[in-house]
Amino acid sequence: MKSHHVHFAAGLGGLTFVAFAVFHLQERLGLLPCPLCVIQRIFFILFSLTALAAALHRPAGALRWLWAGLLGLWAALGAAVAAWQVYLTYNPLAAECGISPEERFLNGLPLAKWWPAMFEANGDCTRVDWKFLGFSVPELSLIAFVLLCAIAIVAALRPASR
């Protein structure tokens, strides 16, 4: 499999996570995204758009590592946010009560005004309302970011095609 195929699959994978969160968890099940969830969505989208751009660019040589570094950055930042949320779900007393500065900031961004269903933060970061195979949404998100980071490294190691 060529690197641009891996980049394309990773880009679609990241967008699939966001689509699942919005259309199933939020719209169908009524779970509101918290500020940390919205930040993770932003990192999934940044990762996906970068991966799709890399697929179109079909980088060779050192440029593959540049794309991998950028993809790794988005995945690592997303994983850090997800890990913090996992910590908060197990230690809810560590979280602030009331409207957090992050929530005010995110809801004040133009993204939250233009597409509130995707980017408006209203949920509680410490609540676990849904699980899949025993994993909460933040735990699944953390696993997804780690896998996407690994996929970015695999793409950098794959041969490029022209």
Residue boundaries of the structural domains of the chain: 3-157
Which pLDDT belongs to residue 133? Answer: 93
Scan for tokens 């408006």, then name that residue. 120
Give the per-residue pLDDT at 77. 94
pLDDT at residue 67 greater than cutoff 90 = no
Return the pLDDT at 153: 79
Per-residue pLDDT of 13-48, as tens digits, reads 889 988 998 888 888 887 888 888 888 999 999 999
Supply the pTM of this predicted model.
Answer: 0.81
On the question of pLDDT at 78 being above 90, the answer is yes
Which one is predicted more confidently, 108 or 49? 49
Q: Which long-range contacts (CB under 8 A, 24 or more apart) does 58-62 make?
A: 58/3, 58/4, 58/160, 58/161, 58/162, 59/3, 59/160, 60/160, 60/162, 61/160
pLDDT computed for residue 156 by the predictor? 73
State which amino acid sits at residue 93: L
Helix (H) or strand (E) holding 132: strand 131-132
- Asked if the 3-157 domain carries CATH number 1.20.1550.10, the reply is yes
The average pLDDT across 122-145 equals 85
The b-or-e profile of 116-128 (16+ CB within 10 A means b, else e) is eebbbbbbebbee
Rounded mean pLDDT of 78-92?
91
Higher pLDDT, 148 or 122: 148
- State mean pLDDT over 122-151: 85
Residues 6+ apart with CB under 8 A from 22: 41, 117, 118
